[in-house]
Amino acid sequence: MKKILIPFLIITLLLLFIFLFKSEIYKISTKTELTDEQKNELYNLAVLAKTNGDLPISSLLLNNNEIIGEGYNTVVRDSDICGHAEINALKNAISKTGLIAFTKLERSRIKIISTLEPCEMCKGVLLQYNIRNVQFLKEKSLSVNLSSSYNELRYQLNKKQISSPDLLNSLSKLHPDY
């Protein structure tokens, strides 16, 4: 029993340490300051969210430090579980620039600023669009980060690939990257 328990405990502690470190690594970098314009925009957008009964969270998407998209939480207002400030800021920027033009923007010049650290869903969208410069005012609590890490681990352990070669072949004809 000890031969199994000790490695299990070591692996568990190692995984816990990795997940803790992953969610806290940003703390080693320096903090940046917001401009007065950015502060005002973020505050006004948060007020709009609160007025609509949503959590007062807001985001700005910048290209070369110029605001190209803005968003605030609209989950309650629109009955849309994807209505988070970061996603809305990205959608706003894409609607202004067009999808093709947006995808051609130099990613090193794009940054998103949010009043709250992005959730896992928003983080996924930011990763999908290769937005690497993420800044936030208020961090998520350690318990929220641990819960997210646990949920991610549970997701990875429970996902399963299905087998349907005929469907895969049909879908590949529609889109070669399938």
- Computed over every residue of the chain, the mean pLDDT equals 90
Q: How far apart are CA 95 and CA 101, in angstroms?
A: 10
- pLDDT tens by residue, 70-103: 999 999 999 999 999 999 999 999 999 999 999 9
CATH of the domain at 59: 3.40.140.10
Residue 5, domain member (yes or no): no
* pLDDT for 1: 63
| Domain presence at residue 51 | yes
- Whether the predicted pLDDT of 16 surpasses 80: no
**Structural domain span for residue 106:** 33-138
> Would you say residue 154 lies in a domain?
no
Q: Are 84 and 45 in contact (CB under 8 A)?
A: no
Q: What is the pLDDT of residues 116-156, one digit of tens each?
A: 999 999 999 999 999 999 999 998 887 887 788 888 889 88
Q: Please report whether residue 81 resides in a domain.
A: yes
53 inside domain: yes
- Rounded to the nearest 5 percent, the helix, strand and coil shares of the chain are 60, 15, 25
**Domain count across the chain:** 1
- Answer yes or no: is 160 within a domain: no
Looking at the domain assignment, is residue 67 inside a domain?
yes
Output the CA–CA distances (angstroms, integers) from residue 71 to 38, 43, 121, in the order listed. 13, 11, 15
Burial classification of residue 71, based on how many CB atoms lie within 10 Å of its CB (0-12 exposed, 13-18 middle, 19 or more buried): buried
Q: Which position has the higher pLDDT, 27 or 113?
A: 113
Claim: this prediction has a pTM higher than 0.95: no
Q: In angstroms, rounded to a whole number, what is the distance separating the alpha carbons of residues 152 and 94? A: 29
In a domain, 125, yes or no: yes
What percentage of residues in the chain have a pLDDT greater than 70?
91
d(C-alpha 93, C-alpha 96), whole Å: 5
